[in-house]
Amino acid sequence: MSKGPIFHGWRIVAVSFLAQFLALGCSISVYGLFIPVLISEFGASFVTANLGLSLLSVAMAGAGVVIGPILDRRSIRAVMITGALVAACAYMLMSFATELWQLGVLFGGAVACGVAMFGPLAANTVVAKWFNRHRGRAVGIASMGAPAGGLLLSPVVGFFLTELGWREALLGLGALHLLLIPLLWVAIRNRPEDMGLLADGAPQADQSIMHESAVSTWTTREVFTAPNFWFLALGFGVAGAVAGAFNANVIPYSADIGIAVDRAAFFISAIGGTAIIGTLVSGALADRMNIRALLWASFALQAMSFLFLRSVTPDFGLLMASVLVFGLAAGAMGPLMAAAVGRGFGPASFGRVMGFIGPVTLPFGFLGPPVVGLIRENSGSYIPAFDAFIIVFVVGGLILFGLRLPNVIGNVTKTAG
């Protein structure tokens, strides 16, 4: 039983929520707000402005390959604190940039590495190691931090950009990261066993809740030869490309249909708000339902949002309706990915598997934003991009037909494919 009234795992969930709130809320979620700055202040084209997210994806994927296995063997707390410090310094240095390449190096390099060290990879890894029966719910709650960051930080950053300037906005983002470091130091521990506890806060005498790390640890070779690894990585790769591309271009698209930036910032908040609901609900359902069916539902709803958007004459209300549906469904992807990896590979290898998934999804995440920017430049419209998004989700759904996961949590074997 937990030594206090609250199982320490839930404290880790709370701090992991804040880590993802800052990691993705300050980078991916608000990136679109800075695209007009890149175009007007630095003379970037639509394609070049979108490359920032591609650089972020490349560096995060590369760093994840190294960081993932480290999270399974070394101090997760030390890794996360280092990452938060790196990101804080990078944002502050970006505020002094005078050339576009300086922003690219700092954001696509330093910020990306920092996010890989304290963001979803590390946060979900430590949460997965503290929970077994309630892993989906716990990861879902922690993953709510990312959309919450989009919901709450977007209007704040939009205000800073309008009233104070982009340099001051970046300084503020750096300061927020520094505030996270003491919380990471106090809360984060690798495993419940390190504090004399069991997963889920189960009593020591309850041998049925034995931590899965004693059951199965996957080697690098076993991970890369497991069919489930490839079905998950490719399915999430194609779908994830859409999420990054749409988040980056919803502000420019809004400008195309005559919506001002200050009003368009509410679209990012709306994505974050509904994604919170999708994250929480999907995390809870993942403990009880077939994960592949939940993924299909997420893909279908996202495709329907773009089908609706390209079929009507858009205005603020109709775009908001599509954004709400998209955010709800897209928010489910993070916890469902974590639940699938935990169900299929176990918490002892969670960091390794999640880290290895990054390079497989990298080409999709890298190409998504600039390809959409290129489509916009060549066609003068985002409609062809929306058509491509629909096709992508159909392909992703077909890929998931091969996914096979144990139905009973804890039944993790290396033959599960």
Q: Count Cβ atoms within 10 A of the Cβ of residue 27 and give its class: 0-12 exposed, 13-18 middle, 19 or more buried.
A: buried
Cβ(53)–Cβ(347) below 8 Å: no
pLDDT band at 368 (very low <50, low <70, confident <90, very high): confident
**pLDDT 10s digits, 307-337:** 998 888 778 889 999 999 999 998 888 889 8
pLDDT score at 380: 86
Better-scored residue on pLDDT, 70 or 407: 70
Measured CA to CA, the distance from residue 402 to residue 416 in angstroms comes to 12
Percent of the chain clearing pLDDT 90 (strictly above): 41
Query: pTM to 2 decimals?
Result: 0.75
Measured CA to CA, the distance from residue 166 to residue 104 in angstroms comes to 15
pLDDT band at 300 (very low <50, low <70, confident <90, very high): very high
With a cut of 80, say whether residue 48 has pLDDT above it: yes
With a cut of 50, say whether residue 202 has pLDDT above it: yes
With a cut of 90, say whether residue 169 has pLDDT above it: yes
With a cut of 50, say whether residue 2 has pLDDT above it: no
Measured CA to CA, the distance from residue 206 to residue 2 in angstroms comes to 13
Cβ(121)–Cβ(68) below 8 Å: yes
Measured CA to CA, the distance from residue 106 to residue 52 in angstroms comes to 10
With a cut of 70, say whether residue 263 has pLDDT above it: yes
pLDDT band at 410 (very low <50, low <70, confident <90, very high): very low
Question: Which class does domain 8-191+222-402 fall in?
Answer: mainly alpha
Measured CA to CA, the distance from residue 36 to residue 85 in angstroms comes to 28
Cβ(291)–Cβ(332) below 8 Å: no
pLDDT score at 211: 46
Backbone phi, then psi, for 332, in 5-degree steps?
-75, -20
Q: Count Cβ atoms within 10 A of the Cβ of residue 167 and give its class: 0-12 exposed, 13-18 middle, 19 or more buried.
A: middle
Of the candidates 275, 253, 254, the one whose C-alpha atom is nearest the C-alpha of residue 327 is 275
63-67 average pLDDT score: 91
pLDDT score at 304: 95
pLDDT score at 233: 93
- The span from the first CA to the last CA of the chain, in angstroms, equals 35
Cβ(355)–Cβ(67) below 8 Å: yes
Measured CA to CA, the distance from residue 27 to residue 364 in angstroms comes to 18
**pLDDT 10s digits, 72-83:** 888 999 999 999
pLDDT score at 83: 97
